[in-house]
Amino acid sequence: MLKGVFIGCLFLVVSCKSKIEKTKPALKSITESVYASGIIKSKDQYQAFVSVNGIIKEVFVKEGDAVKKGTPILSISNETQRLNKENAELARAYASIDANKGKLDEALLFVQLSKNKMKNDSLMYVRQQNLWKQQVGTRAELEQKELAYENSKNSYFSAKIKYADLKRQLDFSSNQSQKNLSISQRLEQDYTLTSEIDGVVYSLLKSRGEIVSPQVPIAVIGSAKEFLLELQVDEYDILKIKKGQKVLVRMDSYKDQVFEARVSHIDPFMNERSRTFLVEAIFDKQPSPLYPNITFEANIVLNTKKNALLVPRNYLVNDSFVVKVDGSRVPVKTGMKDYQQVEILSGIGITDELQKPSE
């Protein structure tokens, strides 16, 4: 009976020993990278907002339509603004220089008449002076001619001033009415939402008859051909990221395919809520088709090394020891790491056999 128990225990010990996982270091390539997730964005993608409050009168496009810069997207009911514009046009027409040309011509004619009268009175005054020197006529006649000349001279200068004032006033009124019309026309444009770029209307968020305001997005518009990747990188890793680094991208939309991209921009401002930084990347060779908001997972490649001495990461103890098959713990110096393997710089060689530490 005791012999049977002993044999059973011995079988258990042998079985436990046979279950110990073993490995040897291997010379392989290793790539150190930073994991990030994100979404695809169309280049120049933006949310379109209206500038005024109102009710949508008409929608000119559908989702998926191609648009050019300046293409109308929708219009907002603007009856009051239409009347304001008509008033501004009436005021501009009333105050224009052409409409008041008769007043200017009349004032200019009066200036000319005053000038002619001044010249005539000047001649009469000079003649009377000459007669007076010849003892012809009376002093009263001389003073009368002098007074008439002075009055006509003052009238001429007064007419010139009135003409200049009238022209300045008409110029001001004309320019002011034109400015008011321009403002009215500019305000009228605010009631029509137009595209800022050549692209595609990816989403329309409002329909005809709905109330809109400047605080609510109306549409999403972006490039039809060019896309970029927006990655969220943890603050712990952001200092490792540099422009130009390779990015390996995997998308559920393209299963079993890996695409290469390059880091193109690093946003220097951290999102306090998610504790991440926005990093943008551009495809080396863009897959087609693509659509905004497709999700992806990516690895930003930091370093790559060939012929590195590697062991599985789960064979490390406290990131600084390995256990040989004889049970001895050996300190090692580690180098590059990925999610499965770690580089061993010193402590063991390629012929050393290791056992997986017990958990």
Name the pLDDT band for 82 (thresholds 50, 70, 90). Answer: low
Residues 38 and 87 in one domain: no
pTM for this entry: 0.59
- Is 8 inside a domain boundary? no
- Is 10 inside a domain boundary? no
Domain limits for position 182: 83-189
How far does Cα 126 stand from its chain's mean position?
Answer: 79
Query: What average pLDDT does the segment 31-53 reach?
Result: 91
- Establish whether the linkage from the previous residue to 289 is cis, with ω within 30° of 0: yes
Residues 106 and 65 in one domain: no
Residues 157 and 287 in one domain: no
Q: Which tens digits make up the pLDDT trace of 292-316?
A: 999 999 999 998 888 889 989 888 8
β-pair partners for 334: 344
Q: Using the 3D structure, point to which of 166, 201, 219 is the last residue of a domain.
A: 219
Q: Is the pLDDT of residue 81 over 70?
A: no
Q: Which tens digits make up the pLDDT trace of 222-275?
A: 998 999 999 999 999 999 999 999 999 999 989 889 999 999 999 999 999 999
The H or E element spanning position 185 is: helix 139-189
If you write DSSP's letter for every residue of 253-280 in order, what string do you get?
Answer: TEEEEEEEEEEEEE-SS-BTTTTEEEEE
Q: Using the 3D structure, point to which of 139, 167, 189 is the last residue of a domain.
A: 189
Per-residue pLDDT at 16: 46
Q: Which tens digits make up the pLDDT trace of 182-229?
A: 777 676 677 889 999 999 999 999 999 898 888 999 999 999 899 999
- Is 301 inside a domain boundary? yes
Query: What average pLDDT does the segment 58-87 reach?
Result: 84
Q: Which two tokens stand for residue 254?
A: 């393209």
Instruction: For residue 29, give every residue at least 6 positions away whose Cβ sits within 8 Å of its Cβ, in sequence order, or none.
Output: 304, 305, 306, 307, 308
Residues 265 and 245 in one domain: yes
**Structural domains of the chain, count:** 3
Q: Is the pLDDT of residue 14 over 70?
A: no
